[in-house]
Structure 1
């Protein structure tokens, strides 16, 4: 008995025959060409689904000069913000008919960044998106000249082109203003790493809102995004509360540090918001389930992804597209409340 021959791979002409259109029409639909009647496009897409046809991307790239792939180079995505930025970009790229190819670097040196971009160019990607949240990554990106569009995302709300980001300054001002409006005389701040552009933008927003309200500007407490650094800051602030210092409100640069701070306060017999009001930043999925549920600033990572991909598509068309920073929003939960009665310092007692 002769073995059965392997089924012939489906080709574009099979789709054309099933849909009753030309080979060229199928090609236009697959490549997202606008000059196709809606009903014809529906017939072609239905035929593709019925047959289970998968376009040959290599062949299509030879014809169109496009792989419909965007390269993403990033560093350190173990934190929530960068990880969710990646997810938002991937979803937006897929919705636009592109795939995302990702490279994660251990160190964002100029040489590593350049190598990553060169590898993407060798793979014939259409464009490269880079997450530039830290100084070394940001500086390395601005030393690279690429033959494809190079777009920076989440670079601390940068204003330079081409870049998109969340308005970190405005988000920090929202958090600080919320606490001042509750009657707190000032707001203490636990910040992120010194080399983080986002952390510095959040410091700037916090300081600007305090200054605008003529409120005292306390020294910052330095963290590193981790719950352990928030815990250490919480221990320091709890000591100051016991000494009678005016610590009634804390704004932390991310929710993970807020989690650590709340744990330290609990150990020290302090409760939020009875003793100290607490605000975070990012809106982790777990934040509504903290004890108490955490007031925080939400970043719209899906919108950030859409704007990042939109900027890539505009650059591919040779268009200049100005992108305003993505707005941040404040989510008020149970960790903030009215300022407690003023505590007396040791000198005043």
Structure 2
């Protein structure tokens, strides 16, 4: 820090303020200090900083699985958002010992707070979270104990269903996600609401587990369906293969819409119409809300809009 101060022609206190993101530095001075940091290869020493401030500048991520594309995309988004704020990231999965053990492992690493992702949020709702661990939950019903960041799952599902109805289909079938998933329940709710508003009775949904294999299996129960809204793109991929195996052409015989807009959705055969989740915005909002809580802010609830991306599978 003394070397940076000498190179920039400022005091060590000014360097400290720049390093800690203090607004009490004018832009020209900040730019000069940051240039000196870059030239000298200066990096904040996290262990020393933790001894002084009581904070490690490390946040945790609690996740049930990283096998699903949505969860892995969220991991990437949160990791990038944390790095942009100069925070490190520690990841733990919820194993056989449960959510309490996951929190204990994060606390042993001295994290300042944690983001709880998707399926793991159900487990958090059933316990009293550690009072000394700031939490942001991705996808959850309202809960005053922590901040919540989520996609507008119901709104996105409504867009998908209304699009299929507008194409002239008499009804829209649904391959739903796991029964205890908040995101799956919200997508099912949006699908039902769109059908109800159109005066259409909702068919019985077929439930999968987010995997392509479960989407493939679900198609056996959809004999005669001409339009299907699938709760995620991976299950939609399995459904596309199942319809092809059965000799049913997409979209000529049956239209298919997914949810997520994963990277490969445009490469499916045919390219998949889907609802896009903005994973980058979710990651940024989750990290921003968590750092705000760490710095003394109050819990917040934020919803990120979803958008429909129309491709060849339903148009």
Band of TM-score, shorter chain: over 0.9
Structure 1 Cα separation of the partners of residues 154 and 312 of structure 2 = 24
Measured after TM superposition, the shift of residue 136 of structure 1 is: 4.6
Measured after TM superposition, the shift of residue 118 of structure 1 is: 2.7
Show the counterpart of 2:164: 179
Judged with a 3 Å threshold, the aligned counterparts in structure 2 of structure 1 residues 233 and 120 are, in CA distance, closer, same or farther, namely closer
Secondary structure of 2:151's aligned partner: coil
Show the counterpart of 2:209: 224
Superposition CA RMSD, Å: 1.7
Does the alignment pair 1:320 with 2:305? Answer: no
Measured after TM superposition, the shift of residue 209 of structure 1 is: 0.9
The farther-off stretch of 189-198 and 273-282 is: 189-198
- Aligned counterpart in structure 2 of residue 212 of structure 1, from 197, 205, 213: 197
Does the alignment pair 1:83 with 2:72? Answer: yes
Show the counterpart of 1:23: 12
Q: Could you tell me whether the CA contact under 8 Å between 1:135 and 1:195 is conserved in 2?
A: no
Show the counterpart of 2:151: 166
Measured after TM superposition, the shift of residue 277 of structure 1 is: 0.6
Show the counterpart of 1:71: 60
Structure 2 Cα separation of the partners of residues 322 and 290 of structure 1 = 38
Structure 1 Cα separation of the partners of residues 65 and 165 of structure 2 = 34
Unpaired runs of 5+ residues, structure 1, are 1-11, 242-246, 338-349
Measured after TM superposition, the shift of residue 318 of structure 1 is: 2.4
Judged with a 3 Å threshold, the aligned counterparts in structure 2 of structure 1 residues 134 and 27 are, in CA distance, closer, same or farther, namely closer
Measured after TM superposition, the shift of residue 234 of structure 1 is: 2.1
Structure 1 Cα separation of the partners of residues 82 and 105 of structure 2 = 20
Structure 1 Cα separation of the partners of residues 42 and 296 of structure 2 = 32
Structure 2 Cα separation of the partners of residues 127 and 324 of structure 1 = 18
- Aligned counterpart in structure 1 of residue 267 of structure 2, from 289, 293, 314: 289
Measured after TM superposition, the shift of residue 320 of structure 1 is: 2.6
Structure 2 Cα separation of the partners of residues 318 and 282 of structure 1 = 33
Measured after TM superposition, the shift of residue 168 of structure 1 is: 1.0
Q: Could you tell me whether the CA contact under 8 Å between 2:71 and 2:118 is conserved in 1?
A: no
Q: Where do 1:131-142 residues align within 5 Å?
A: 131-134=117-120, 136-140=122-126, 142=127
Show the counterpart of 1:275: 253
Judged with a 3 Å threshold, the aligned counterparts in structure 2 of structure 1 residues 90 and 69 are, in CA distance, closer, same or farther, namely same
Structure 2 Cα separation of the partners of residues 136 and 288 of structure 1 = 31
Does the alignment pair 1:336 with 2:314? Answer: yes
* Structure whose CA Rg is larger: 1
Q: Could you tell me whether the CA contact under 8 Å between 2:82 and 2:88 is conserved in 1?
A: yes
Does the alignment pair 1:130 with 2:116? Answer: yes
Structure 2 Cα separation of the partners of residues 182 and 92 of structure 1 = 39
Q: Could you tell me whether the CA contact under 8 Å between 2:115 and 2:136 is conserved in 1?
A: yes
How many residues end up aligned between the 2 structures? 313
Show the counterpart of 1:34: 23
Measured after TM superposition, the shift of residue 328 of structure 1 is: 0.7
Secondary structure of 1:165's aligned partner: strand
Q: TM-score, normalised by structure 2?
A: 0.94
Structure 1 Cα separation of the partners of residues 235 and 259 of structure 2 = 9
